[in-house]
Each structure stands twice: as structure tokens, then as C-alpha cells.
Amino acid sequence: MKVTKVEAFEVRVPWVERLGEHMGKAGMPPEGAHRFVYKIYTDDGLVGYADGPDARDLIPKIIGHSPFEFMLDDSLWPLQVGLYDLMGKALGLPVCKLFGPVYRERVNVAYWSHCFPPEVLADEARRAAEAGFKVHKIKIRPAHDPVEQVKAIYEAVPEVQVIADANCTLWLVSKAVKVAKELERYNVFCMESPLPQQNIEGYKELKSKTVIPLAMHMGWGSGSEWTPNPITAIESRMVDYFVVEEHGARAMLNSGVLAETAIGEASA
């Protein structure tokens, strides 16, 4: 099986009308999401599908080659899902079987909202609950009071858990502690990146002063000046969860190894 052709379709998806203005105010592109969808053809008639950013410059690298040649080549990550789609189809296996045993049959999927006003989040939370979501992830930024945002969701659908992602914008431990203590009365699953992530001691202090679990973002710069090396974060016990946003199959497998190291047993 060799790749013979790749078609790239540029896709622009506008935000739903009720949220367009709010997405723009939150700093997102006002015109909506801009993606590419890829159809990868092979000489045996199979077709694999992927989506991601513009990776048309990578297409020549896979033409004439077997998808199996690129199993752990994360430099091709925008096309990699399509290559794995082809491998799974060729072997008659679900793609997860190409990485190891299946750890669980079901996983939670969170509804997602940007940093919207409380009344908008309340409406979105009701929509999320009606659609069957049990977790609602929101952005908390200086533009709105995070306590009022979470309170609005709780009053609308108290059974839905909230992930409050500050993107490091609470800045000070004292402020993060104040916000966390006020959020404890609501159904908060965790606070993600409340402080700049290199502030390991700050996270440990915050963790000691709230019952709300803490999470940090891992990927796109882990080990750089803005976020600690994941091993350092694990050893310091600065957080309870990692939100993994790595690109590629090898990076995903490495994240699994880190998880096993952190808890001392096989995990996913």
C-alpha cells in the first residue's frame, strides 16, 4: 500500500450566530475557524481522512510511500491521523489497537466555551446539559469575574462540572487562592493553569489551600521558559491533572509513559 494522491480542502466554518460577537471579543478570529481537510488515497483503493492546519507543503513527503513508514514521524502530524486511518483500514483494526491495549471503553468529553459573560455561559451550560454533556470547560480571563461565570453555570445546571481554565491569568497566588476558595461552593472539576506554570512553589501553595484539584497544560512548549518540564512537574506534585495537547503519535505515546511514571502503573 502506497500513497498515490492527497486532496486538500480549505474549510472556513463561521461561529454559530449567537456566539460570533462573543468569540470576537474573546480574541478569536471573527470570521470563524480555518482548517484543512485531507483525503489521502492509496494504490489499493483505501482512503484516509485527516484535518488540521495548512500542511500542503508536507504532501510531497508521503507520495509514493507506505503509511507504515511514518508511524512515529510527528513532523507530519497534520496528516498523521489520515495515515493511521489508512493503516487501521488496511489491517482491519481500530486505530487504537495500533498503540497498545484498550484501557477504557468510554471517556468524558467536555463542552467548551471561551471567556463569555455569565449570562451567555448560563445559556451555553443549559445547551450542553440538553446535549448530554456532564463537563463544561470555560476560559476565565480578566474580562469577566470568574466566580460569577462559574456561579451562572451552577445555577443553570448544578449537575454539570466546570473546568475553569485561566491560561495563567490569575497571576498572583493570593488572587488564585481567593478565587479558588470562592469557587469551592460550586461544582468545579478542576482549575487549569491558574498561575504562570513555571511558578512551581506557587502551585504547591495554592494546592495546599484549596480542595479544588489543579491542572496544568502540557504541550506546545513544555520545558520552555513558560512551563516546566513534565517530569519536574510530576516530581514536585504541583498539580493533580495534566491537560495534554501534544502533536503526533510519538508525543502521545510519550505522554502515556509519563502518566505511567506519575502513578506507578499502566494508564491512559
CA–CA gap between residue 265 and residue 245 (Å, rounded): 22
Nearest by Cα to 240 from 204, 266, 188: 204
Identify the CATH number of the domain defined by range 3-97.
3.30.390.10
Residue 255's pLDDT is what? Answer: 85
Nearest by Cα to 109 from 136, 129, 127, 130: 136
Q: Give residue limits of the domains in the chain.
A: 3-97, 111-263
Identify the CATH number of the domain defined by range 111-263.
3.20.20.120
Consecutive 10-residue averages of pLDDT for the chain (268 residues): 97 94 90 95 97 96 97 94 97 92 86 96 97 97 96 97 96 96 97 94 96 88 66 89 89 85 61
Residue 265's pLDDT is what? Answer: 56
CA–CA gap between residue 15 and residue 21 (Å, rounded): 9
